Amino acid sequence: MTGDTESSIAELRGATKRFGDVVAARNLNLSIRRGEFLSFLGPSGCGKTTALRMLAGFEAPTDGDIYLDGQRVNDVPAHQRPVNMVFQHYALFPHLTVAENISYGLRQRRPKPPAAEVAAAVARALETVRLPDFGPRRIWEMSGGQQQRVALARAIINEPKLLLLDEPMAALDKKLRHDMQIELQTLQRQLGITFVLVTHDQEEALSMSDRICIMRDGEIVQTGSPRDLYDRPKNRYVADFVGKSNFFAGRVESLEGETAKLTGPGGLSFIGYAGDGVGAGQPGLASLRPEQISLTRGTDGVPVSVVNRIFLGEHTEYLVRNPDLGQFLILASRQAEAGEGNLEPGETGSVRWRDGAALILKND
């Protein structure tokens, strides 16, 4: 049996990894598309790194199979896989120069490529990561951001079928991380290499990926585009992990096709897309994104009092309180607030949301 080599470059088929009694990854099924930017997203210990390490060849699956470009590679050791990795702490060789680090992969090939060819490839790779002339430097002379570029150059010079990135931004400060995210995305499009990123940072995953694979407790919860996951989360876990959300418990009144209606606290009704396992008459959960709620000074809505307000520049985040709903968040854009004037903590106003703005999820 071979994979669908037309569109998928790598596949996990029922891949399971046990370490003793601990199941680090359970029955992972995922097809990675050629040329896409895919992220594994989840908290630490969710199995995302294990999934990556199985693709790299550092861990062999206990059960199931790993396919690379249509070939089953369960028993192919890491050094024979056409896959390269950018390690969390870069794992640059401290006893080699920048150029020697970058050329390491090429120098392992048999027959050995000519020295001039290697030098030219290193120069191109350094150019690609915008570190020209840094070749003779020692690793410890480079800053964290520069070291990361070296690690990237060292991986892409081999033109791998998959480039694996293990939380590559974790060690960078926030500003640098943002720059690097943009750069990585640009690089991925320019090179056409399939990127697989592991991260626990939802913003990073949302901003960079074509698709995100959300994991929990060693299992894949949902795979989809960032927009899919944001607008159509399968369950509370995904809704909570991808973006911020307010949750209100209630009872599902009706379910028609994909749309459900839930009656929440104080008899308030929430209408929207129904997630997995939602059934009429069952207890359910309404998820309402902070930006879907509008706050006004008027009285024609659900009355709230402002508890706290955080100015975020383009947006203002309000923490408000209603006797039935409890405390919840509202994100108001500057435009929406224009003319209304800011509500100060302690003031009262009213909130409303459109029909269809909510998501109705199973309460689990």
Binding stretches for another protein (CB under 8 A): 56-58, 77-80, 83-85, 87-89, 91-95, 104-105, 108-109, 139-140, 154, 158
Closest CB to another protein among 166 and 204? 166
Closest CB to another protein among 16 and 158? 158
Q: Are 233 and 223 in contact (CB under 8 A)?
A: no
- Provide the minimum distance between the beta carbon of 122 and another protein in the complex, in angstroms, as a whole number: 13
- Provide the minimum distance between the beta carbon of 205 and another protein in the complex, in angstroms, as a whole number: 23
Closest CB to another protein among 154 and 177? 154
- Provide the minimum distance between the beta carbon of 57 and another protein in the complex, in angstroms, as a whole number: 8
Residue 309 CA to residue 237 CA, distance in Å, equals: 26
- Provide the minimum distance between the beta carbon of 246 and another protein in the complex, in angstroms, as a whole number: 41
Nearest Cα neighbor of 35 from 229, 195, 241, 240 is: 195
- Provide the minimum distance between the beta carbon of 149 and another protein in the complex, in angstroms, as a whole number: 15
Closest CB to another protein among 104 and 247? 104
- Provide the minimum distance between the beta carbon of 243 and another protein in the complex, in angstroms, as a whole number: 32
Closest CB to another protein among 64 and 160? 160
Q: Are 157 and 121 in contact (CB under 8 A)?
A: yes
Copy the structure tokens of residue 93: 């060789």
- Provide the minimum distance between the beta carbon of 92 and another protein in the complex, in angstroms, as a whole number: 7
Strand positions, DSSP E, 20-174 = 22-33, 37-41, 63-68, 71-72, 83-86, 162-166
- List CB contacts of 303: < 8 A, sequence separation 6 or more: 322, 348, 349, 350
Instruction: Report DSSP state, residue 292.
Output: G
Residues in the chain: 364
Give Cα separations from 111 to 11, 74, 114, 163, 206 (angstroms). Answer: 30, 26, 9, 24, 42
Closest CB to another protein among 57 and 349? 57
Closest CB to another protein among 138 and 297? 138
- List CB contacts of 69: < 8 A, sequence separation 6 or more: 3, 5, 9, 10, 82, 161
